[in-house]
Amino acid sequence: MILDATQSELLQRCDGCEEERVLKLTDLVLGLDHPQGGQGLDPNIVRLPPCPCGAVEFLNRTFDRYPAPRDEAGHALPMHAAAQAALDHRRRVNAVADRLRELGRISTGNAQRVLAESVRPPDLSTLAETFDQPSAGISPAVNAAKEKTQ
Ligand SMILES: [Zn+2]
């Protein structure tokens, strides 16, 4: 699970051992390639490096819109906390994936496909404020995790 992200790093909490660690975006790539090369398997997957406990997390970029809850008349309903957390995580994953694309961190087999994309994940826009600002290079959550491990 991604707890927070900046333009250069993300803070992951492992689902296996619950340890938190900071990963550099320059160590990641968007897209999953076949081990034998050739056309990429999936342009939406970011494979995180294995946790010391052995668990491997895969992030999945999404292009559909998260279904906002509405009543029968079509009015927006307050979102359940769990649904909000899922939406926030989805935005974070999409923001990380989009930043990898911007940085040119795309797997060899998926590079052509990803560079030809003309749409961005729709869930991204609401997060852009906190992710795209220059000052967002600093994340209190990421910094706290880095201090703990130093
Ligand atoms: Zn772990």
Amino acid at 22: V
Q: What is the pTM of this model?
A: 0.82
Percent of the chain residues past pLDDT 90, beyond the cut = 53
Please tell me the distance from the alpha carbon of residue 11 to that of residue 21, in angstroms, as a whole number: 6
Q: What separation in angstroms does the CA of 117 have from each of 55, 90, 120, 138, 143?
A: 31, 19, 8, 29, 33
- The Å distance, Cα 51 to ligand 1 centre, comes to 5
Rounded distance from Cα 49 to ligand 1 centre (Å): 11
Are the CB atoms for 13 and 19 separated by under 8 Å? yes
76 against 3, higher pLDDT: 3
d(CA 55, CA 63): 26
What mean pLDDT is predicted for residues 50-66? 93
The pLDDT assigned to 129 comes to 46
Lowest-confidence segment of 40-44, 66-70, 111-115, 136-140 by average pLDDT: 136-140
Q: Band of the pLDDT at 150, cuts 50, 70, 90?
A: low
Q: At what angle do helices 125-132 and 81-102 cross, to 10 degrees?
A: 60
Rounded to 5°, angle at Cα 6 from 30 and 128? 85
State in Å: Cα 58 to ligand 1 middle.
13
Distance 11 CA to ligand 1 centre (A): 13
Q: Please state the domain extents for the chain.
A: 2-143
- Would the pLDDT of 128 be above 70? no
**Contact assessment for residue 144 and residue 18, using Cβ atoms and an 8 Å cutoff:** no
**pLDDT score for 137:** 54
57 Cα–ligand 1 center, Å: 9
